[in-house]
Amino acid sequence: MAELVAPHPNTLELVNSWLEHHGIPSSSVSMTHGGNTLMLKGVSVTNADTLLGASYQLYRHVERGETIIRTVGYALPAVLHGHVLTVVPTTSFASPPTRRKTPRNHSGGTATGLVKSGSREPATMLSSRFDIDYVTPDFLRWLYATEEYIPAATEKNRLGIAGYLADYPSPADLEAFMTKYYSDAKDATFAVVPLSGGGYDEDDPTDEGNLDIQYAEAMAYPTPVTFYSTGDERSGTDPDSDDFFVSWLRFILKQRSIPQTISTSYLVDESENSREHSIYVCDLFAQLGARGVSLLFATGDDGVGHGNCVTEDGSVQFIPVFPATCMCSIFLRLGVVHK
Amino acid sequence: MRYHCIYLSVLAAVPLGGLAKPLSPRWNDMHTKHSWNAVPKNWESLGGPPSGTTIDLYVALKPHRQNALIDALYEVSSPEHPKHVLHHSSARARTHMCHCSDPDMVHTYLRSRWLSL
């Protein structure tokens, strides 16, 4: 992999010269992210401002209150523009990955997560066979024609579920869900891998964690499932944390063994990142793809855009969501097609 | 914001031949890499961080072989390619694939699932 993403030798030499010019010796710089990213650990904000012609400040989200360190712009020496794709953290203000809206049906006791196929309105994807308002595991297996499929090679295959915002599921809720909707798989289990401040308390699960693991198991059982609980660092004391997806990617790219298929149900508005930052993150996902990992990403619950798609100037504009908008054929994208 | 854009020196600083290494780089010839016109929506500035604050910076470098990564991804994703990772044979894989270049084919499939469009 390192060979595929390796920079030109001149690039390394030039960038190291630039860093040394600013008093950062190459001995304090390490290579990461599969071999295409230099990590400069513990740079003072004053030096970062000088290095990048930036003005790092603390920014607070007016609704959620989390604080991050970012700059609204940064610069590089002209000779480096052909060598450096982007620097993070700089201008990425992407809001925390959005959990998909998950109307709950509490009538099932501890079993969580029946995803209503149309929020607050009559169901818009009607089936003559399933007279239901909710998407059930049975419906999904019929929709994707997997009713007769028996997962093979379960001793070798694994399914990964990437969770963010410190989400994680509950084994008791999973058992209750499977008992009600897929009793053949009521002994389904999962492993949890916390990273970057993620957690796992089986008595205090989150809705999205439960939803994601329950439907994954309903489709993939008895394939082993691993849930990655990536932390919500921005709400803590680490405001310089970088992109959520990058935190997870940095972890997973270091692993020797990675699930062959990984599903992600979190997204951000594409417009909240610079084009270069988006390319950078997409390329990290592409590294997984080149290692044979199949990636599934949510495209949201809103079809071409949430709300009424009307911008502040009154025009109607569709709202692409990231990372599902990464280059065609890197991902399989799944989401609703209406609203 | 401190940008040091010396526009008169732009042409002199642009490397000839793409990744050519200049003999004496002008480190102070700073050009904007990316900036927003204003603080992004829903964010407000609290001013500079406390003195002594440090951050970890990640400098992402462009690859030497521009298309190598995506080429490799296509190889392991193409059922006919020897590096294809799918456990199915290519013949079996084809039975699960829809070469849906025509949107009507997608609609046909969805209707076959009795979905209203």
How far is A157 from A258, CA to CA, in rounded Å?
A: 10
Residue A325 in this model has a pLDDT that exceeds 80 = yes
Residue B79, pLDDT > 90, answer no
- Of B65, B99, B93, nearest to B81 by C-alpha is B93
Q: What residues of A are in contact with residue B59 (Cβ under 8 Å)?
A: 15, 37-40, 84, 87
Smallest CA–CA distance, residue A172 to chain B, in Å, is 33
Cα separation, A177 vs A294, in Å, equals: 26
The answer to whether B11 contacts chain A (CB < 8 Å) is no
pLDDT in tens, A231-254: 865 444 454 566 788 889 989 998
Superfamily of domain A98-334, CATH level 4: Peptidase S8/S53 domain (3.40.50.200)
CA distance B83 to A291: 10
Per-residue confidence (pLDDT) for residue A118, from 0 to 100: 31
- pLDDT at A95 exceeding the cut of 80: no
pLDDT at A241: 60
User: A260-272: per-residue pLDDT in tens?
Assistant: 999 999 888 888 8
| Residues 76-105 in B contacting A (C-alpha not used; CB under 8 Å) | 76-77, 85, 87
Q: Tokens 């803590």 — which residue?
A: A236
**B7: contact with A, CB 8 A cutoff:** no
Rounded Cα distance between B4 and B27, Å, is: 10
pLDDT class of A317 with cuts at 50, 70, 90? confident
Q: Does residue A312 have a pLDDT over 60? A: yes
Measured distance between the N- and C-terminal CA atoms of chain A, rounded to whole angstroms = 40
What's the mean pLDDT when you consider all of chain A? 81
B72 by Cβ neighbours in 10 Å (0-12 / 13-18 / 19+) ranks as buried
For chain A, what percent of residues have pLDDT higher than 70?
78
In this prediction, residue A166 carries a pLDDT of 86
pLDDT band at B20 (very low <50, low <70, confident <90, very high): low
pLDDT at A192 exceeding the cut of 80? yes
Query: Over 50: is that where the pLDDT of B66 sits?
Result: yes
Q: Which amino acid is at A306?
A: H
pLDDT at residue B89 is higher than 70: no
DSSP H helix total and E strand total for chain B: 4, 3
- A278: tokens are 């988006």
User: Does A247 or A129 have the greater pLDDT score?
Assistant: A247
Nearest CA in chain B to A39: B58
The pLDDT assigned to B101 comes to: 57
Query: Does residue A82 have a pLDDT over 70?
Result: yes
Band (pLDDT 50/70/90 cuts) for residue A105 is: very low
pLDDT at A59: 93
Report pLDDT for A142: 85
Predicted pLDDT at A136? 86
Question: Could you tell me the residue ranges of all domains in chain A?
Answer: 2-80, 98-334
B30 touches chain A (CB under 8 A): yes
Predicted pLDDT of residue A106? 37
pLDDT score recorded for residue B5: 34
The conformation of residue A80, written as its DSSP 8-state character, comes to G
Interface residue A280 vs chain B (CB under 8 A) = yes
Q: Is the pLDDT of residue B3 over 50?
A: no
Report which of A328, A329, A331, A289 is spatially closest to residue A1, judged by C-alpha positions: A289
Q: A213 with A169: CB under 8 angstroms?
A: yes
Residues of chain B in contact with residue A53, where contact means CB-CB under 8 angstroms, are 1-4, 30, 32
> Quick one: pLDDT at residue A217?
95
